[in-house]
Structure 1
Amino acid sequence: MAAIVCVIGSSNTDMVIKGDKLPAPGETVLGGTFLMNPGGKGANQAVAAARLAIAEPNVPLTAVTFVAKVGDDLFGRQALEQFEREHIRTDFITTDADEPSGVALIGVDSQGENAIMVASGANAKLSQEQVAMALEAGANPGSTVVLLQLETPIPTVEYAIRQGHELGMRVVLNPAPAQPLDPAVLACLYVITPNETEAELLTRVRVTDEDTAQQAAQRLHEAGVPNVVITLGSKGAYLSTPMGASLVAAPSVTAVDTTAAGDCFNGALAVAIAEGRSLPDAVAFASKAASISVTRMGAQASLPYRHEVDTLV
């Protein structure tokens, strides 16, 4: 059975400068290489999922649906064309006549670390009505995975989480960028996937090792989240479930650009869950996919295809 993933989130155009160092406040850094790429956490995760999903023979490649809002401009049109090339279902991507498409300004240093500023534009207009139509049209209780982030309006995100849960879907939240959420909403999640910084903002536990990762995970369990995955960069990911907890190691690679690593991880995780893998297997699969993405420049350009992950030792 083909994976069924519904990604709800942001679509941006990334304007990237790669240089030796990131500027400090008030500092101008000269030199570097300029790139312009499609991005946005939602779009990145949708593309990652589409590249990693496998359809059965003679089944159209519509396993991934993306729900988003873009501007009526060049960036928006280019984004729609890109999604169609990736075989992503675009029925529920709407165009806003008043707001521009979202953009992100990204600096990347020689170690692959990044700093990002985002102008949301049309992403800030993603509505609950738009989400409701998409979820009702794609409802397949027990097999649909809904994947969300926090770059669109929080009321819309919380609505999507509740509705997905009520429809019997497994809801995965990548709480990035970390923001306060209604505690009642957390109990509707299947998995939450913060990184170390986001976990600290959500739990007030500074995550530095396995012990502190477990402390943070426990606080999220107490808030009602049954399954917690804390991504730890090159160290892998810490998985905590009612069945136990473990650190899932990531393959050792040389990072070039970490811009979309988290998005790659989440798209891969959603696909693996939709395919029926156990959470430890799903996290291992996602870690492998993310480790490939950091060896390449760009956001969507860095996202691997299924055969690359399956053949990675």
Structure 2
Amino acid sequence: MTAITVLGSANMDLVAYVPKAPRLGETVTGREFRTVPGGKGANQAVAAARLGARVAMIGAVGADAFGVRLRSALTAAGVDTCGLRTVEGASGTAHITVDDEGGNSIIVIPGANGLVTGLESGDEERIAASGTLLLQLEVPLSAVAAAARAARAHGVRTVLTPAPVQPLPPDLPDAVDLLVPNEHEAAALTGLTDPRQAAAALLERFPEVVVTLGAAGALHAARGQEPYTVPAPRVRAVDTTAAGDTFAGALAVALGEGRPMREAMAWAAAAAALSVQRPGAQDAMPGRADADAAFAGGPQP
């Protein structure tokens, strides 16, 4: 079984569903409000666990009702939460607006996630016992860098989703094996709006890059190889909140199982396409059987 460790955030998502997102200064009437467990770290952990991996989560939740629910959601998905600390104060929250086209805008309040500043007792051992480390940027960069260095020291593949996008420490790329930005994050990191040009620029710092392109699929680029695009299944999106995290978790599972990159990307795209057809984040993530069925019935690269 593929073993994955995730260091990252756990947030309670406070989601408002509206016909159209409000402009600055505008008030609109929504049609539904939900509180659902989320956070990019927890989302990727749940995605990977539901797809068949053995997953351990490193992070923090607050000593509040949200923290209890966030831990319970991870445990219910089969994620090992021994590395998920409970700290004084509030859990992280994400305030999300989802429109009728499935688009979203998000404000993240770090809460307990902001106290994850480095590795604690047992964390390096958790990382060393896995085949892949999944990282994002909703916890302090000091913790992200420490985890990446630990993974490099133990020969563990490190996959970084650079979101929310921000300037990266100069030495972090040296400890990252695969960067998985979306096209907007790739543009922010490079100043280049064309995904192929952005990917080429990122290869100056990272050995391998997969840029997710939404409905257009995903672009792969690696040093010494020709870039290529893997298509995504055509579906009607209801809520895209979980798409990127589902893709990252699925990609880590597929690569951990030894699948070639092109096939791994196609399988991850099929899983992500399933997630956008349901509302919410973790609630929308598919199980292994559904992902396999969608991959078998979808467009092949």
Tell me how far 1:295 sits from its aligned partner.
Answer: 0.5
- Residue type matched to 2:91 in 1? S
- Local SS of the residue matching 2:122: helix
The equivalent residue for 2:220 is 239
Structure 2 partner of 1:117: 107
Q: For residue 193 of structure 1, what is the aligned residue in structure 2?
A: 180
Offset from partner CA, 1:62-85 (integer Å, 9 cap, x none):
x10011100011111111111111
SS of alignment partner, residue 161 of structure 1: helix
* Equivalent of residue 61 in structure 2, options 70, 78, 95: 70
Q: Distance in 1 between matches of 2:119 and 2:213?
A: 35
Residue equivalent to 1:42: 41
Structure 1 counterpart of 2:271, which letter? A
Cα distance, 1:226–1:94 mapped onto 2, change above 3 Å: same
How many equivalent pairs are there?
294
Deviation, structure 1 residue 183? 2.6
1:300 deviation in Å?
0.6
* Contact preservation (8 Å) 2:5, 2:126: no
Q: For residues 28 and 18 of structure 1, what CA distance do their matches in structure 2 show? A: 13
Which is worse superposed, 301-310 or 76-85? Answer: 76-85
Q: Return the alpha-carbon distance in structure 2 between the equivalents of residues 125 and 23 of structure 1.
A: 32
**Aligned equivalent of 1:58:** none
Aligned equivalents of 1:134 and 1:301: distance in 2? 27
Aligned structure 1 segments of 4 or more residues deviating by more than 3 angstroms: none
Q: Structure 1-normalised TM-score?
A: 0.91
| Structure 1 residue identity aligned to 2:228 | S
Deviation readout 1:18-50 (Å, 9 max, x if unpaired): 111101111111132111111111111100000
1:137 and 1:268 map into 2 onto residues whose CA distance is: 20
Q: Which residue of 1 aligns with 2:92?
A: 102
What is the aligned partner in structure 1 of residue 242 from structure 2?
A: 260
State whether structure 2 residue 97 is matched by structure 1 residue 81.
no
Q: Which amino acid letter does the alignment assign opposite residue 31 of structure 1?
A: G
Provide Cα deviations, 1:80-125, integer angstroms capped at 9, x if missing partner: 111111111111000102x200111111111000011111100000
TM score, norm. by length of structure 2: 0.95
**2:153 corresponds to:** 166
Q: For 1:1-313, what aligned pairs fall within 5 Å after superposition?
A: 2-53=1-52, 63-97=54-88, 99-130=89-120, 133-140=122-129, 144-206=131-193, 212-223=194-205, 225-242=206-223, 243-312=225-294, 313=297
Q: How far apart are 1:138 and its partner, in Å?
A: 4.1
Q: Is this contact kept in 1: 2:203–2:209, CA < 8 A? A: yes
CA RMSD for the aligned pairs? 1.2
- Measure the CA separation in 2 of the matches of 1:19 and 1:40: 21
Letter in 1 for 2:236: T
Contact 2:127 2:133 in 1 (8 A): no
Which runs of 5 or more residues in structure 1 are unaligned? 55-62, 207-211
Counterpart code for 2:216: K
Larger CA deviation: 181-190 vs 83-92 = 181-190
CA contact (8 A) 2:5 2:58 kept: yes
Distance in 2 of aligned mates of 1:126 and 1:162: 16
The gaps in structure 2 that reach 5 residues or longer are none
